[in-house]
Structures are given as structure tokens and as C-alpha cells.
Chain A
Amino acid sequence: MDTNFLHAFLGGALIGTGAIILMLANGRIAGVSGIVSGAISSVKKSHLWRWGFILGLIFAPWLTTLVGFSLPTSLPTDNLTLAVAGLIVGVGTQIGAGCTSGHGICGIGRLSKRSIVATATFMSVAIVTVSIIRHFV
């Protein structure tokens, strides 16, 4: 338990470091949903950095495996649920202009009111959703 807390905090600090590098060097918000949505919207040279960031995310687990941290090998939900959830997450992050990274880390890190409200909203709805599924259905 104690080491989990430490890993969570250290991992969080690495996320924050990655996010601030993107702001300090590229002047961009490290919001994964926004970066991905922009990357697939059109093929442009000015979108190249988006693909760099995405490749970094994809390759990162190969580095962490070297120090003993790997991706999960099983998922708690079936593929149909994942398909539906993916669709909803795609639509929601597009309409709400962000996800856990863009609103939760960068937005709150900028003390943006919009991001604080968005984060409170998606956290609450996610908690209610899990509670209903696990305890009231």
C-alpha cells in the first residue's frame, strides 16, 4: 500500500514533468484528447508534434518495463462495454474540450475555472457511475 502511494505520486510527478515540457518547449497544453483529436483531423506539417507526443506515450511502457513497471495484462470489462465507453469518451472529451490530462493536470495547474469545474464534473459522474454499477444494479 505504502509503495503504491509513492509510485502514484512519483508517476504523477513524471506526468507533470512531461506536461510542463510540452508547455515550456512547444507552448502547448498536454491534453491527450485534444492532441489526438487534432492529430487525426488533418495531415499537416504543423501537426507533426502531435504524432511525436502520441508515439512517446506508446513507446513509454517499453522504458518503464526496464524498471519493473508494466501495462496491465487483463481488463475488468468486456469488449462491448469498452466499445460503448470509448465512443462516449470520444464524444464527451471533444464536446467538453478535454480529459483527465488537459483539464485535470494542465487546466487545474493553470488554475483555470473551466478546468476545475470540468474536472469536478467528470470525477463526480464517474464516481456515481461506478457506484451505481457496483452497488445498485
Chain B
Amino acid sequence: MRQLFTALLSGLFFGSGLTISGMVDPTRVLGFLDILGDWDPTLAFVMAGGLSVYLPIYSVWIKPKQRTVFGDSCHIPVNTEIDAKLLAGAALFGFGWGLSGICPGPAITNLSGGQSGMIVFVITMLIGMITAKKFVK
């Protein structure tokens, strides 16, 4: 129950940040990715803001202790190999992101807006995830 509550709190912060930063607006995201056009560099500051909180706290607490504040162990990826799967997946994701200006976090956050296009995106995204999980090992 505690884990459910803290995850809900985390999601509320995360979704609020996506909305306030402008990441939820695909028009803004495409403007950020369009470096040859009328480039809008603002969204680079979203990553700067995110890392300015995550990186120091992770380095000071999680990295040395490998424990949560409640003493449980952390689930941290152990794979360090840069393989073809990582590159192919990231490239595919980048292509879809460039086509639409939408990545998974903003897609889910936009669901409460009820726009048909966002619902379509989330449905096909889920189909893509399930399909890839089934066929790509």
C-alpha cells in the first residue's frame, strides 16, 4: 500500500512537471526538434532541470547505499552492454518521436485531455509494446 501511494505521488510530480515544462505539447516538442527551422531551444532546459535534481540525489544516496529510504533493495539495471538492440530500439523510438512529437510520458499525461489523437497514439503504443515483447527477445 505504501508503494502504491509513493508511486502515485511520484506520478503526480512527474506529470505536473511534464505539463508545466511544455513537454506535453507536441507542437512545442517538434519546434524543439526542428533545429533547421525556427528552432525553439527551451525544452533542453527540461532535461537540465530534471538532471539537476536526480543526478546529485542519486549519487549521494542511492549509488553508495543501493537501498531505498525504507531499507529495501533497489531495482537498478545491471546491463552495461551497448548492443544492436539498444541502438535499433532507440533509433525506432526517435523516428516515432520525430513523426509525432510525442513520447510515452506526455502521451499518458495527455489522456485526461481526452483528445482522440492522443488516445489513438496510446492504444497503438500499447499494441507495439505487447507485440515487441512477444516477438523480440
Contacts and interface: CB of A to CB of B under 8 A. Distances in A.
B87 A12 contact: no
Contacts of A105: 47, 50-51, 54
A77 B112 contact: no
A100 B98 CA distance: 13
A53 to B, nearest CB: 4
Interface residues of A, number: 110
A7 to B, nearest CB: 6
Given A16-B53, A69-B20, A134-B34, A56 B8 contact: yes
Contacts, number: 481
Contact of A57 (B81, B99, B109): B109
Given A75-B26, A126-B97, A17 B92 contact: no
A103 to B, nearest CB: 7
A137 interface: no
Contact of A15 (B8, B36, B50, B95): B50
A92 B91 contact: yes
B124 A109 contact: no
Contact of B101 (A71, A77, A93, A127): A77
A87 to B, nearest CB: 4
A29 to B, nearest CB: 7
Given A14-B14, A83-B124, A54 B108 contact: yes
Q: Most chain-A Cβ atoms within 10 A of its Cβ — which of B46, B126, B129?
A: B129
A127 B11 contact: no
Contacts of A20: 53-54, 57-58
Contacts of B81: 114
16 contacts: A8-B42, A12-B21, A15-B17, A20-B54, A23-B62, A56-B7, A57-B18, A72-B25, A73-B115, A82-B102, A86-B107, A101-B105, A117-B87, A118-B86, A125-B94, A130-B33
Given A63-B16, A76-B26, A130-B33, 11 more contacts: A8-B46, A23-B68, A27-B75, A30-B14, A55-B8, A79-B120, A82-B124, A94-B136, A105-B51, A121-B94, A125-B94
